[in-house]
Every structure is written in C-alpha cells, then in structure tokens.
A and B are shown apart, each in its own frame.
Chain A
Amino acid sequence: MINLSQVSFSYNETPVLHHINLVVEDGEMVALLGPNGSGKTTLIKLACGVLRPNEGDIYLSGSRLNRLKRREVAQQVAVVPQQFFIPFAFTLREVVLLGRTPFLKAFSDERSSDGQVVENAMDIVGINDLKERYFNELSGGERQKAVLAMALAQEPKLLLLDEPTAHLDINHQVEIIELVQTLNREQRLTVIASMHDLNMAALYFDRLVLLKDGHIFADGLPDEVLTEETIKEVFSAAVQVTQHPLTHAPHIIVTPKGKSD
C-alpha cells in the first residue's frame, strides 16, 4: 500500500525524522507509538503527501507520492486529523459531504452517487440520526465520529488517523477504535494510526511501530514491541508488562516510584 524508503524530514532546521524505512501492506492495521515529538504526526503528514520528505521517497500503491496531484492522493488516502474546528454552522451531513471534495467538479453540485456514499458513511459510523444537527454543537465523541465518516466518504484505500482516541471518554475511545478495526477486518481498509494509549494499541492493532527521536526503534507484533525494556528505553518510564486476562495481549502497568523491587 505505502512504502517509505530512507525518508528524512526537518521542520526548518529541526530534524524530525531520520532515514525511515517502513512498508505497510494492503489490509494491515498499524499503530505508530512514541513519546510526544518522536515524529508520529509528521510521519502521517508525509504519508498523505501534505509534507514532502527532504530525502528519500514515498510510494503509494507503487507510484511516487510526489508525482501525484493532491486531488489524486485524496482519492486514495483519507486523514482523520487531531484537531478539527469549523467556524461556520455546518450541519453534520455537510461536514461528511466534504469528504467528497476530491471527487467534485468545480461547478457541479454533488451527484446522487455522492449523496449515497455520504449516507453509507454516516450509517457505518452510526450517526445518521444526527445528520441535521450542527457540527459545532455535537459532543466530542460525536464530532470524532463525524470526522471519521467524512474520511470514509473519501472511499479511501488507506486511512490515516492522528491520535483518534485523544480527549475522548473511554466508551467513545472503544467505539471509535472498534469501528476502525471492523473496517479493517471486513473491508480490508489499510489503517495507520498514531496512538498515545499503549494498552489500546496492544489490544486492537496487529502491528506496532515504536518511534524514538525520529527513528524506528521497534517494529513488530504487540508482544515483541511492548516490553519493559523498550518502554523504559523509549519513554523513560518504569512499567511492568502483564497480559490482558481475556486476549493475552500485552498490558502495561505503571510502576509507581518507590514501589519497584
């Protein structure tokens, strides 16, 4: 699906990513982990072509990302950004309809097929009953679902999410991530998400990529990546790794100061 080869990137003079090599195959569900400033968001912006690498190449389904027009990329790759604010009173449906932007022609209104895609996207996410509500008056969880529906209205092959569960209640966190997981399992949607919550990542993602200071520190199955040693090394945090009682996925428990043996 997407292939980053020797990709480096700096903001002005500040280097953020160094010689990243990452191949994500069709249908994978990958979480990007790492402390703040480790380059997760930058990696997402590079993968959708909004940022251009200073060195290295990115290939999307075999074609060089730099050669594609923004519109062409947006027809394949959708992004759920971290922050989302609209200064005008758009309804939820109007926001989801924005997902059809890469397919619209300048003077025409949306075709009925676009309307159908929008309805489907709202159904999948389960917000069809909210569609005439104003976006800005929705709760945080409902808004996040609307933004997810907007991204799905792009009918993407690759879905990129920037901390999709940040600032959400635990029920909404689970709901959003399980929705994404279902899309991945049932429609083979390729997913790359940056995640803050290591336990959520371990529970729902097949492959974890751990970033440290702009390098890939570890890349593999959850129980390969999330060990006491790697977490100490990357996050400088003392933790114990146990197992989730039901799924046996690694589960991280913080060790309070003075309580470690």
Chain B
Amino acid sequence: MAKLKQNHRLLVLIALGVILLLCLLLAAGLGAVSISPLSIIKMTLNKTALFNFTATWQPSAETILFQIRLPRVIAAALVGSALASAGVLFQGLLRNPMADPYIIGTSAGAAFGATVAMMLPISLALLSFGLVPIAAFVGALAAVLVVYNLARVGGKTPVVSMLLAGFAVSAMLTAVMFFMVTLSGKPGLLQNVYSFLMGSVSVSGWSKIIIVAPLIIGGIIAARFLAFRLNAFAIGEEGAAYLGIDVERDKLIVLALGSLLTAAAVSISGLVGFVGLVVPHAVRLLFGPDHRLLLPAAALFGGAFVVLADLLARTMLSPTEIPLGILTAIIGAPFFIYLLRRTRREYAF
C-alpha cells in the first residue's frame, strides 16, 4: 500500500516534469522569430559537445535562442517554481490557504530591499554580483516577520488579520519605496521601480540566472526536507509540538526559506502575484495536501505556469509586452474564484 503510494508520487512528478519541459520547448520556440522544437533540441545538444547535428537553421537563430529566449524561459520557470514553493511553505506554516508571498507582503519586502540596494552608490558589477538578491532576502524576511507578528491573534493567524497586515505592510513599503526613488531624482530608477512593481521577467543573458538558479533550486530541495514537519503543522502549532516538532525553530526555518525563495524570484521578475496562491491550490485539488508531494509538484507546476504566462505576456500583443504580473493577476484571480466556488472543503474555518 505505502509502496504503491510512493510510486504514484514519483509518476506524478515525472509527468509534471515532462509538462514543464514541453512548456519550455514551446516558449523557447515562439516569438518574433520562431524556431522549431527539433532545432532547439539539436542546438542545445550541440552545446554539450557530445553531439554534432548539422545546422539546418540560420546562425542568428542560435544567438536568439541562447542569448534571449532560453535565459528568459528558464528565468520564468525559476520564478514560477520559487513563488509556488514559497506559497506552499507560507500556507502550510500559517495553516492558511490564502497566504501568498505577494498578498502577505513578502514580495513587497523583497522589492523594497532590492530598491534600496539599487540606490546605493556602488558599482553595477557588485550589484549584479548578488547584492540585490541579498538585500531582497533581508527585506522579504523582515516583512514576513512583521506581518506574522501583526497577524497573530492568540496563537492563530486568522485569514482576515493576515490579509490586512499584509496589505498594510505592502502599501507602506511601496509608498516608502516611491518616496525614496522620487527623492533620489534619478528618472531611470523610477522607471525601474515601476516595472519592478508590475512584474516582468527581465534578464539579459545568463548573469542573473547563474546567481539566482542555485538559490531557487537549493531552496526547493531544502523545502522538501521540511515536508513532514509542514504536515504536522497542519494540526496547529500546539498539535505539532505534541508530535515532537521544535515549533519555534522550524517556524523560523520555514519563514526564512519562504523569504529566500520569494526574494530570489523577485530579484529577477519584480512583483508577480497569485502564482503562490493559484498553483498550490490547483495542486492540492489534484493530488491532495500531503506536503511530500505538494512541495515538489507545486514547484514543477508553478514553473510551467509562469513559462506559459510569460509566453502569453510577450506574444499576445507583440511587439508590445504585457507586464507578467498583470497577466498572472488576470489569469489568477478568476481561477482563484473558480476554485473557491468549486470546493469549499478547504475553507471550512
């Protein structure tokens, strides 16, 4: 019985992995210049130096694929995986299916930290070498701790107080952010902050991905180690303590990991909302709430979701690009309402 269940889990993950790969292939091929999936596979395999397919494609296609498309779709997948995982972590810990990094202010905290880092009078080289992600992490963790402590009522985190605290902290941070940027008098920076708030996958080449990818992949693997503890948290902090969980320590670990994943995502995409809300919901409905499957499944599903969303964002009104954050909100909010209507089981407060 237990054996069968484990195989079942593995099958689900393999299927989701294949779906993610197909989405990556599709998104890498589509754009102003389309590249066939076969050519993409051949070009990529040629890069490994183990294969040598003859080029049936324009030389420019190779540049487009490796300098523009692949970095972009991989960044989108990373953002989606990170946000979906952070959503699962926060929801599991707060026992609250509405906890999304965007809604509870973690994203705003990360954006705030990143903006402060961008305003510091230091060279661009240092910035791209990880100061922005670090500042974003500090901002995200600080914001989530503030929201968490504001929202606690007698050992519980009710939906309403959490949403209100998240809203207040987000509004505050965004306002201060604009205030600082206005004071700084750098018009370019204002533009940056705007696109940050709207959310869009902005990478040029691989430099940012090389820093962020290990953080996100490492974070997702680390999150999987917390799966059975998050399951125990489902019966409440007191119940988790009865089951032998070191509640205060594990709470901090989960919040820090969720903040790290959020910050890593925000540092390459700005504020992209609803991914951390919609993806875990959909995965729970499909495969149940057990975090041992939920965490990795949400990471894969979230990656595919944002890859497709980003594809829509850049091709739908081409050459105009719709900000990704606006698109995920347009897709995410109605989907969320649909889920809310379809099953009330999870909302029995």
Interface residues in chain A, defined as those with a beta carbon under 8 Å from any beta carbon in chain B: 48, 50, 69-75, 78-79, 81, 84-91, 94-95, 98-99, 101-102, 104, 106-107, 109-112, 114-115, 134, 136-137, 154
Contacts and interface: CB of A to CB of B under 8 A. Distances in A.
B7 to A, nearest CB: 11
Sort chain B's interface into a size bin. 35 or more
A207 to B, nearest CB: 23
Given A88-B97, A94-B290, A109-B292, 13 more contacts: A50-B238, A74-B242, A74-B243, A81-B238, A86-B235, A87-B349, A88-B289, A89-B345, A95-B235, A101-B245, A106-B225, A112-B3, A136-B348
B346 A101 contact: no
Contacts of B231: 94, 98, 101
A79 B345 CA distance: 26
The 3 closest A-B pairs by CB, nearest first: A74-B244, A102-B244, A88-B289
B239 A81 contact: yes
Best-surrounded residue of B225, B239, B243 (most CB of chain A within 10 A): B243
Nearest to B222: A106
Given A112-B2, A115-B2, A98 B232 contact: yes
Nearest to B231: A98
Nearest to A85: B236
Interface string B314-349: 000000000000000000000000000001011011
Nearest to B246: A70
Given A81-B242, A102-B243, A90 B228 contact: no
Contact of A104 (B95, B228, B235, B239): B228
B194 to A, nearest CB: 36
Contacts of A84: 235-236, 239
Best-surrounded residue of B232, B235, B245 (most CB of chain A within 10 A): B235
Contacts of B245: 70-71, 101
Contacts of A89: 284, 288-289, 343, 345-346
B157 to A, nearest CB: 10
Nearest to A94: B290
B322 to A, nearest CB: 33
Nearest to B92: A88
Contacts of A90: 234, 288-290
A50 B95 contact: no
B236 to A, nearest CB: 7
A101 B289 contact: no
B289 A137 contact: no
B2 A109 contact: yes
B284 A98 contact: no
Nearest to A134: B345
A25 B306 CA distance: 60
Contacts of B288: 89-91, 94
B298 to A, nearest CB: 13
A213 to B, nearest CB: 24
Given A88-B284, A94-B290, A112-B3, A99 B239 contact: no
A64 B348 CA distance: 41
A88 B97 CA distance: 8
Nearest to B9: A109
